[in-house]
Chain A
Amino acid sequence: MSAAFQKIYNAAAERRAAVDKPDVPVIHIGMATCGIASGALETKKAFEEALAQQGVEAVVHPVGCFGHCYAEPVVVIEHPASGFPPILYPNVTPGKAKMLTKLYLEEGDPRFEHILGATVENEMIPWVMEFARFSMETRIVTRLCGHIDPERIDEYILEGGYASMVRALEMHPDDIVEEIKSSGLRGRGGAGFPTGQKWELAARADSGGKEKIVICNADEGDPGAYMDRAILESNPHQVIEGMAICARAMGASKGVVYVRAEYPLAVDIVTQAIEQARESGLLGRDILGSAFNFDIEVFQGSGAFVCGEETALIKSIEGTRGMPINRPPYPVESGLYGAPTVINNVKTLATVAPIIEKGAEWFKSIGTPGSPGTTVFSVVGEVVHPGLVEIPMGVTLRTLIFDICGGIPNQKKFKAVQIGGPSGGCLPEEFLDTPIDYDSLNHAGAMLGSGGIVVMDEDSCVVDVSRYFLDFTQNESCGKCTFCRIGTRHLLDILSRITIGEGIPEDLEKLKDLSRSISQGSLCGLGRTAPNPVMTSLEYFADEYAAHVEEKRCPGTTCRALTAFYIDLEKCARGCDVCVGCCPVDAIFTTRTRKKGIDQQLCVKCGECKVACPAEYDAVRRVSPAEGVPVVERVETEDSRE
């Protein structure tokens, strides 16, 4: 370690020692956006108040996102004096926080019924590693997420952070490129381009006297994915360190983090992290006494999906509409302001420091030969344990969905998995044994893409989901290419017609034709991949399309125009009024027999009555086609006139 870095490390250690109180309990609370959304701020406040009230001494330690969204707000309590190991508590409401302060922190009873597990192996409490959701993950990118306070650079440094950058400063730039190349790291932004090769091209490019540039792509446009944000919010320094190493390798002196303005917390945390790194002397001029200059600024993207595409991203930093341009020249030759520019995804950059630290061979030992390393997914939809999951490449979809994420809740059957967001595809059960890596998924017609995974059960409709993604891409098309601009509109119109029961048999062929033309006739990845959700679902779920078109039936009873609700009079309990109160449009009336009926004219099919109906009656039914609904005439009864 260089003497200059040693000094920074020692200073961090000293500062830490000054605040560390051995024996005092520590309460770690996940405070990334997802935690806050689930009420972590209130939980934190409840802990602080309870501690003050009861005069208990403890340190409240905010950390980032732990990835276990189903359990937010997540709290880990270290209470050495109690004799118990650090304990992870899920779903800690303010009430639970108060209770734990009193019963555990003060009286030493950890309340076993509220525990998810212990974070270290021990004899008393099951270790979290005994659960697949924990043990089957391999955390490289997210290793420190949820463990350190992202707002304090010291915590990253003391966990070994920035040591790889120090190492890189001692290496010849060509050797860094070589190490990344031989690691086989491929871009995590979707396309999977070999990262080392990209860096090499940029290193060799003639900059014509301009400063070369590194851009971190944190635009994350997929409407159902949030790993990049979670990483930036939980451990921004690992990304900054990766950018610095990239800069060193390719000879860049300027960096830009392009993060969407809709991610205010991520913007704040990254901005602050950059400032802290600068103050510590890890960014700026002559870093650590070497001749290496590198500094980073944050650019806030204004929310256009297409700006995730690299040439559009550059255009938008330059202050114009973010419309993609033809390549070549590639950004590595002529990018931002014409300077050679490397654009890498957040996860790609966050993987760099671990590779430099542990070596290309170590990295290659994880994942598959064609796609080494890990990948981070946000798994959402109908699974028991949704959230962020980092797994080695090559794990199958089945393992991810059923073993790691706990399978489908409520004893429902699996129907499909949508992977890769608006550019990806919808895969049926037969593909569950597909290994997750770039090539296998491409082969299946889907795409690793951004890393968004949506699991659908038997009650979901693949036609509707395809329509949803088309609606998104159609909206987000920048309008440059005719096929993308008008073609996606046509696709959307056809799909919308099908979902309201106005599809005709010729539509299906037309969908295929149009899809093909759009893929071929568009300039950038947006248009080229926009038909993927339609093409894959048409191929694998042809029967669902047919049911919509020919029988006006939605097999998943999702499409509202094709379904209707009714109340099973056999099951409806006389005098129970639960559904009446919850109906937002007053469509539920009382029948002569004092049971309930639904006025089909008024019903907006929100399904609220189905949710509200007490489980012991379970009287509300949803059917498709809509004609299948039994007629119950609305008559004025004494009840309804009251």
Chain B
Amino acid sequence: MVEQNDDFEEEQILQEIEGRLAGFGRERSNLIPILQMIQEQYRYLPKASLELVGRHLAIPSAEVFGVATFYNQFRFNPPGKHPIKVCLGTACHVRGGDIILENFERKLEIKVGETTPDREFSIEKVACVGCCALAPVALVGETVHGGMAPSKVEGLILRIEVENEMRQRAAEKEKSA
């Protein structure tokens, strides 16, 4: 991973967050809504932002960290451009959701909770996305793919990669034109 780039990005983000925090009161009950705001904007909670939040609400950043790690919603590293969520709810479990998860892990060479080095993909598990009748289910971005099978995993990823390439080529063409 390109460390410098990350730092630069994070610095920018922190400045923005500082500005947004002004819109929130200093009551403790704003803690979770603030964390949700940050995550919604940036799709993860940069570690340094937790300190800012602590300062804003006048609570130790360890406390902020404690709350943030308690809940499943929050993540601490940026997700990939195509976040993959594999459902491991009850219905999907009995239909082999864990096998689907393994296939994604194997194919992308990362574990659940991680992001590929090129930041294209990340894998998460979720519990029931509400279409159990289609189990097992996986989401790529916002799109739900029902009736998943190990062999579909490869196809899905391939499709995204092909699309990416096409987009890149189109962009290059435009540039040269």
Bound together, the chains give a CA A606 to CA B154 distance in angstroms of 14
- Complex Cα distance, B32 from A584, in Å, reads 42
Inside 8 A of A611's CB, which chain B residues have their CB? 149
A303 CB contacts on chain B under 8 angstroms: 71-73
In the complex, what distance in Å separates the CA atom of A387 from the CA atom of B131? 9
B21 within 8 A of A: no
Q: Which of B10-18, B99-107, B109-117, B166-174 is the interface stretch?
A: B99-107
Give CA–CA (A381, B133) in the complex, Å. Answer: 8
A77-85, A156-164, A218-226, A349-357 - the one binding chain B: A218-226
Contact B90 A608 (CB under 8 A): no
Q: Which listed residue (B32, B94, B99, B135) contacts A316, Cβ 8 A?
A: B32
B131 in complex: contacting residue of A37, A302, A316, CB < 8 Å: A37
Give, as a whole number of angstroms, the nearest-CB distance from A399 to chain B.
Answer: 20
Asked if B73 and A262 sit within 8 Å, CB to CB, the answer is yes
Cβ-defined contact, A72 with B133, below 8 A = yes
9-residue interface stretch from A436-444, A452-460, A503-511:
A452-460
Q: Does B19 contact A (CB under 8 A)?
A: no
Within 8 A of B (CB), among A260-292: 261-262
Within 8 Å of chain B (Cβ to Cβ): is A300?
yes
* Nearest A-chain residue to B74, judged by Cβ: A302
- 0 or 1 for each of A222-252: is its CB under 8 Å from B? (1 = yes): 1111100110000000000000000000000
Q: Closest A-chain residue to B71, C-beta based? A: A302
> If A34-B133, A606-B103 touch, does A322 touch B36 (CB 8 Å cutoff)?
no
Determine if A321 and B29 form an interchain contact, defined as CB atoms under 8 angstroms apart: no
Say yes or no: A34 contacts B91, CB within 8 Å.
Answer: no
Q: Name the residue of chain A whose CB is nearest to the CB of B68.
A: A302
Do the beta carbons of A224 and B90 come within 8 Å of each other? yes
Residue of A nearest to B64 (CB): A319
Size of B's binding interface in residues, CB under 8 A: 46
Q: Would you call A318 an interface residue if the criterion is a C-beta within 8 Å of the partner chain's C-beta atoms? A: yes
Asked if A378 lies at the interface with its beta carbon under 8 angstroms from chain B, I say: yes
Question: Of A38, A72, A320, A585, which is within 8 A of B67 by CB?
Answer: A320
Residues on the B chain within 8 Å of A225, using CB: 128
Q: Does any Cβ of A come within 8 Å of B4's Cβ?
A: no
Do B94 and A72 touch across chains, with their CB atoms under 8 A apart?
A: no
Q: Is the CB of A604 within 8 A of B130?
A: no
What CA separation (Å) do A225 and B154 show in the bound complex? 29
Known: A33-B129, A584-B153. A319 touches B31 (CB 8 A): yes
Contacts of A381 in B (CB 8 A): 90-91, 94, 132
Q: Is the CB of A37 within 8 A of B130?
A: yes
B159 near A: Cβ within 8 Å? no
Complex CA gap A612/B67 in Å reads: 46
Nearest chain-B residue to A321 (Cβ)? B70
Contact A38 B29 (CB under 8 A): no
| CB <8 Å contact, A38 and B71 | no
Residues of A near B30 (CB, < 8 A) are: 319
Residue in A38, A421, A456, A607 whose CB lies within 8 Å of B134: A38
A223 touches B128 (CB 8 A): yes
Q: Is A463 an interface residue (CB 8 A)?
A: no
CB closest residue in chain B, given A227 = B130
Contact between chains at B72 and A418 (CB < 8 Å): no
Could you tell me the distance between the alpha carbons of A584 and B107 in the complex, rounded to whole angstroms? 9
Q: Do A223 and B127 touch (CB < 8 A)?
A: yes
The residue in chain A whose Cβ has the minimal distance to the Cβ of B59 is A319
Given A223-B89, A226-B128, A606-B103, does the pair A37, B134 have CB atoms closer than 8 Å? yes
Any chain A CB within 8 A of the CB of B151? yes
A380-B130 contact given A261-B36, A304-B72, A319-B67, CB 8 Å threshold: no
Instruction: Give the CA-CA distance A380 to B99 in the complex, in Å.
Output: 19
A460 CB to closest chain B CB, in angstroms? 6
Question: What residues of A have a CB within 8 angstroms of the CB of B149 in the complex?
Answer: 582, 608, 611
Q: Is the CB of A36 within 8 A of B144?
A: yes
> Counting CB contacts under 8 A, is B146 at the interface?
yes
Q: Could you give 25 example pairs across A and B, Cβ below 8 Å?
A: A37-B129, A37-B134, A38-B134, A72-B131, A72-B133, A223-B88, A224-B90, A262-B73, A303-B72, A318-B28, A318-B29, A319-B31, A380-B132, A381-B94, A381-B132, A454-B90, A454-B91, A460-B94, A465-B93, A581-B151, A582-B151, A584-B103, A584-B153, A606-B99, A606-B103
Known: A38-B131, A224-B128, A321-B70. 17 other contacts (CB 8 A): A37-B130, A69-B133, A226-B130, A261-B36, A262-B73, A299-B33, A304-B70, A317-B29, A318-B29, A319-B29, A320-B67, A380-B90, A380-B135, A418-B90, A460-B94, A465-B94, A611-B149
| Closest 9 A/B residue pairs (Cβ) | A224-B90, A302-B71, A223-B127, A69-B133, A37-B144, A303-B72, A37-B131, A380-B132, A319-B31
